[in-house]
């Protein structure tokens, strides 16, 4: 069997997670290269615990300190896992070399040169996708089926909550020096938790109206917003409205992640801390039904998106869960409009 060749552009926590997942899927049938800039002597495990050590030795990675040299290895795919402000620049270099690209969220910290990247990818017929692992969660699949098929009627409102203490996200580093703390580098709670905006649009599409309140409400001493309450209004063809509220912050302890949906004939509540989905389907007499998620591992989300991505490279387009560049650009533009609403205190019609 010919080994796959993959290049990872950064071995921080998400880069190392992708390496572990690739090893789990392909074992020794993959050759992993990495471009490293800082060369930190850190091994970061699935629980975000850090020990001193060389990740290249632990995971069997070939290290490069020059991106142009690294790209000469002719990788089947390049995983862009460096900070958001470097994503597009790195992706353009890879695309110009004819490499397929997987970009971690968010797509970038600005819209600069995204259209240039899209043109190169289209001209060279490359596969480029952006990582949005929540789309692969088992609860997402179940809920999307209920929404798309109106099993409990039309949704009238929904709430998405993700609150997590920023210093605890990467406890091995000074959070104030991370890109998540720096607005110019793609930080702040809105861009850093961009996957929450993506998952709402995955369920409902793009809103007709939006407004955002919040700001730097806590005492974390960061140069970006740490709290956002985002409201989307969806005006349906039948005149009805679906109002979606997204509550995100970098302050709350312990971590909270919940989704709730209210519909004509029932409700759905997903608690990602207990991994239990509660269903009330009065139409079909399924009242207060608990659906636990057993044998679930967080890495399954990343493994499933990697499998779909490599299937796409091989020409299997049976599943198109991952967003492409054009869709991801729309999500990024929506995120910037949310930030604009936060700063201007205005309601925007889309």
The dihedral sign for the CA sequence 33, 12, 191, 90? negative
pLDDT of residue 250 exceeding 80, the answer is yes
Q: What is the pLDDT of residues 161-200, one digit of tens each?
A: 999 999 999 999 999 999 999 999 999 999 999 999 999 9
Q: What is the pLDDT of residues 143-164, one digit of tens each?
A: 999 999 999 999 999 999 999 9
209-215 β-sheet, strand order: 286-292, 276-281, 266-271, 256-263, 155-163, 241-249, 227-235, 209-215, 348-349
Q: What is the pLDDT of residues 110-149, one digit of tens each?
A: 999 999 999 999 999 999 999 999 999 999 999 999 999 9
- pTM of the entire structure? 0.95
Among 1-10, 20-29, 82-91, the minimum mean pLDDT is found in 1-10
The dihedral sign for the CA sequence 86, 95, 328, 196? negative
Q: What is the pLDDT of residues 44-92, one digit of tens each?
A: 999 999 999 999 999 999 999 999 999 999 999 999 999 999 999 999 9
Tokens of 228: 């956002």
For residue 37, name the pLDDT band (cuts at 50, 70, 90).
Answer: confident
For residue 39, name the pLDDT band (cuts at 50, 70, 90).
Answer: confident
**Mean per-residue pLDDT, 202-225:** 97
Do the Cβ atoms of 34 and 9 come closer than 8 Å? yes
What is the distance between the alpha carbons of residues 76 and 90, in angstroms, rounded to a whole number?
16
Q: What is the pLDDT of residue 1?
A: 65
Q: Which domains does the chain have, with CATH numbers?
A: 4-133+303-324 (3.40.50.720), 134-294+330-349 (3.30.360.10)
Which of helix, strand or coil describes residue 261? strand
Q: What is the pLDDT of residue 338?
A: 98
């Amino acid at each position: 069997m010919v080994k796959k060749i993959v290049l990872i552009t950064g071995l921080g926590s998400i880069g190392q997670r992708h390496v572990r997942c690739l090893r789990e899927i392909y074992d020794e049938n993959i050759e992993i290269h990495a471009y490293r800039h800082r060369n930190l002597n850190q091994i970061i495990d699935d629980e975000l615990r850090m020990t001193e050590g060389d990740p290249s030795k632990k995971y069997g990675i070939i290290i490069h300190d020059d991106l142009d040299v690294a790209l000469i290895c002719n990788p089947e795919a390049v995983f862009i896992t460096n900070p958001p402000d470097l994503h597009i620049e790195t992706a353009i270099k890879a695309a110009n070399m004819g490499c397929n690209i997987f970009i971690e969220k968010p797509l970038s910290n600005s819209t600069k040169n995204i259209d240039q990247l899209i043109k190169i990818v289209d001209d060279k017929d490359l596969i480029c996708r952006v990582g949005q692992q929540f789309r692969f969660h088992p609860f997402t699949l179940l809920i999307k089926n209920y929404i798309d098929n109106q099993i409990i009627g039309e949704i009238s409102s929904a709430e998405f909550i993700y609150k997590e203490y920023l210093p605890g996200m990467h406890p091995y580093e000074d959070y104030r020096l991370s890109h998540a703390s720096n607005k110019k580098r793609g930080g702040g709670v809105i861009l850093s938790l961009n996957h929450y905006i993506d998952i709402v649009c995955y369920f409902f599409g793009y809103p007709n109206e939006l407004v955002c309140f919040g700001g730097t409400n806590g005492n974390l001493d960061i140069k970006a917003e740490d709290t956002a309450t985002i409201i989307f209004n969806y005006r349906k063809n039948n005149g009805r409205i679906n109002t979606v509220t997204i509550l995100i912050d970098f302050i709350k302890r312990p971590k909270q992640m919940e989704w709730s949906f209210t519909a004509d004939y029932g409700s759905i509540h997903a608690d990602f801390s207990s991994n239990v989905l509660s269903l009330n389907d009065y139409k079909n007499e399924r009242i207060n039904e608990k659906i636990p998620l057993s044998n679930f591992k967080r890495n399954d989300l990343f493994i499933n998106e990697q499998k779909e991505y490599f299937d796409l490279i091989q020409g299997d387009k049976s599943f198109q869960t991952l967003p492409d560049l054009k869709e991801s650009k729309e999500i990024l533009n929506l995120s910037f409009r949310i930030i604009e609403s936060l700063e201007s205190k205005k309601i925007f019609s889309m």
